[in-house]
Amino acid sequence: MFYLYILIITLCLALSLINKIARQRFLWIYFTFILLSEILVFAKILDNTFYNKANCIHIIFLCWYFHKEFVDRKFYKTFLILISIISFLLFFNENILKIDTNIFKSFLFIFLSIDWFTNQIRKPNETLIYQKMTFWIASSILLWSTIFIIRVIPGQFFAKLDIDFLRLINQFYQIVTIFSYLIFLKGLFCKR
Sign for the CA dihedral angle at 19, 24, 30, 36 comes to positive
For residue 192, being part of any structural domain is answered with no
- What integer pLDDT is reported at residue 56 of this predicted model? 81
Per-residue pLDDT of the chain (192 residues; tens, 9 = 90+): 899 999 999 999 999 999 999 999 999 999 999 999 999 999 999 988 888 888 888 888 988 888 777 766 677 777 777 777 777 676 666 555 556 778 888 998 998 999 899 988 988 888 899 999 999 999 999 999 999 998 887 777 776 777 788 788 889 999 999 999 999 999 999 988
Is pTM beyond 0.75? Reply is: yes
Q: Which one, of 59, 40, 50, 152, lies nearest residue 94 by Cα?
A: 50
Residue 145's domain comprises 2-187
Domain total in the chain: 1
Residue 172 included in any domain: yes
